[in-house]
Amino acid sequence: MARKSARGASVAGVDDQAIGAEIYDLACEIYPICRSITGQGVRDTLDILSRFIALDRQQVPTGEKAFDWTVPKEWTIRDAFIEDVHGNRVLDFSWSNLHVVSYSAPVHRFISLGELKEHVFTLPNQPDLIPYRTSYYAERWGFCMEHNRLQALPEGQYEVYIDSELKDGYLDYGECLHKGASEREFLLSAHICHPSLANDNCSGIALLTLLARSLAGRKTRYSYRFLFAPGTIGSLAWLARNEDRVPLVDFGLVVSCVGDGGGPTYKRSRRGDAFIDRAMAHVLSRRAPQAVIKGFSPYGYDERQFCSPGFNMPVGLFQNSAFGEFPEYHTSADNLEFIRPEDLARSYQIISDVIDIVEEDWTPVNLSPKGEPQLGRRGLYTAIGGDKGGGQAAMAMLWVLNLADGNHSLLDMAERSGLAFSDIAAAARLLREHGLLAPA
Ligand code: ZN
């Protein structure tokens, strides 16, 4: 990654602004697409991502088993509306793709207002917003609309029309593997099954795409797998087809809702103390002291599948505002005004810092452990003076030398000293160059 922050010199600057704007632009491009767990919307989204990264695309046919689940029929939606007897449009799919319940069965009927209300979802407490609703595994038809608009409809007959189709087809997903020196992997995953919702999860899709593009130009120790799959059934299909790869995953993050100004929020893996959990906690403590870190719970996004007991992968969930806890969640207010380039940039930097820890962590041993080695003689103490930065660098060296007994990794040292990982890593590099440290 062409960033300076790993060396402790990070300030929100030009680079942050540029990447934030780029992520935002990509989120804007994929936002209008009507995605669901299957169908053309997912393929159109993957087409766009393919312009940025080498995406390996997979198609899982309807009926393929994924453990206890089966890939459902493919859903196609072409048009939908509600009209009164005078031909006035009450609702039109082209106004918002949230207006149709995702996976809705087709319908074309004339019904009373009373019957219509049985098929319309609203949010009485947020009466001007359209809710997002799905009906994946039960064949039903339905609409979503503003509560106020529904309340204002006069008695009478209404024409309801949904031109959709459920037929055998495919579930699509895409993955992008950046090969490092080791086969061991860092898995980064975003769900691609939501329609026009900006934070959940155009933000995560766009962020991971540009992160993958950036990693493509970097030589890394670990391999990085980026997975863009529909929620639940997509990650299950991936797991079912890649069960042999699961033990190779040493770190993982599910990324969603990373574009709003709340949080950040990190939910630990089921293991609770996996390396990824510690690295996230460390980075958040430095970059966003207000961050909320939660223990694992079996509700949320695809970490539910990755952390199911049969896999128990070291995968946490990274978000800004937590799903379900912000008023815009799963409503038409989760739009492009709700996410901002600067918040996307912050999320990007947090994940980048975690990658730096994964890449640069090692366990050193002090080659001169009896007493402190004389740093001044080696020119390593000159920086101290009265300068605060120099003092910090010296403190980092003292901590590294003291803890380099072969039992502490650099992340252990950062945690114990309260210093930034980047400072500890820089000190270890310097001490190793001067022959005072070697790998344990
Ligand atoms: Zn969601």
Give the Cα separation of 253 and 258 in Å (integer).
Answer: 12
- In this predicted model, what pLDDT tens digit does every residue of 238-289 receive, in sequence order? 999 999 999 999 999 999 999 999 999 999 999 999 999 999 999 999 999 9
CA of 179 to the centre of ligand 1 (A): 30
> Which of 167, 199, 215 delimits the end of a domain?
167
Do residues 305 and 435 both lie within one domain? Answer: no
Give the Cα separation of 411 and 424 in Å (integer).
Answer: 8
For the residues 341-358, what does the mean pLDDT come to? 98
Give the Cα separation of 97 and 289 in Å (integer).
Answer: 37
Do residues 316 and 330 both lie within one domain? Answer: yes
For the residues 77-86, what does the mean pLDDT come to? 97
For the residues 301-323, what does the mean pLDDT come to? 98
CA of 327 to the centre of ligand 1 (A): 13
User: How much is the pLDDT for 192?
Assistant: 98
> Which of 359, 379, 407 delimits the end of a domain?
359
Identify the band that residue 7 occupies on the pLDDT scale cut at 50, 70 and 90.
Answer: very low
Would you say residue 7 lies in a domain? no
Do residues 335 and 249 both lie within one domain? Answer: yes
Would you say residue 307 lies in a domain? yes
Predicted TM-score (pTM) of the model is 0.94
Instruction: Pick the closest to residue 357 from 88, 55, 6 (CA basis).
Output: 6
Would you say residue 8 lies in a domain? no
399: left (phi over 0), alpha (psi -120 to 50) or beta: alpha
Do residues 307 and 322 both lie within one domain? Answer: yes
CA of 270 to the centre of ligand 1 (A): 21
Would you say residue 1 lies in a domain? no
Instruction: Pick the closest to residue 123 from 99, 104, 141, 145 (CA basis).
Output: 145
CA of 53 to the centre of ligand 1 (A): 24
Do residues 260 and 370 both lie within one domain? Answer: no
Tell me what the pLDDT averaged over the chain comes to: 94
CA of 330 to the centre of ligand 1 (A): 6
> Which of 301, 334, 359 delimits the end of a domain?
359
Residue 87: domain span: 74-167
CA of 273 to the centre of ligand 1 (A): 26
Task: List the Cα angle 328/16/225 in 5-degree steps.
Answer: 75
Identify the band that residue 391 occupies on the pLDDT scale cut at 50, 70 and 90.
Answer: confident
Give the Cα separation of 99 and 92 in Å (integer).
Answer: 7
Do residues 275 and 355 both lie within one domain? Answer: yes
CA of 79 to the centre of ligand 1 (A): 23
User: Quick check: 31 pLDDT over 90?
Assistant: yes
For the residues 340-348, what does the mean pLDDT come to? 98
Measured over the CA atoms of residue 317, residue 16, residue 10 and residue 263, the dihedral's sign is: negative
Instruction: Pick the closest to residue 400 from 389, 387, 414 (CA basis).
Output: 414
Would you say residue 177 lies in a domain? yes
CA of 200 to the centre of ligand 1 (A): 5
User: Quick check: 300 pLDDT over 60?
Assistant: yes
User: Quick check: 180 pLDDT over 50?
Assistant: yes
CA of 234 to the centre of ligand 1 (A): 14
Domain tally for the chain? 3
Give the Cα separation of 13 and 6 in Å (integer).
Answer: 14
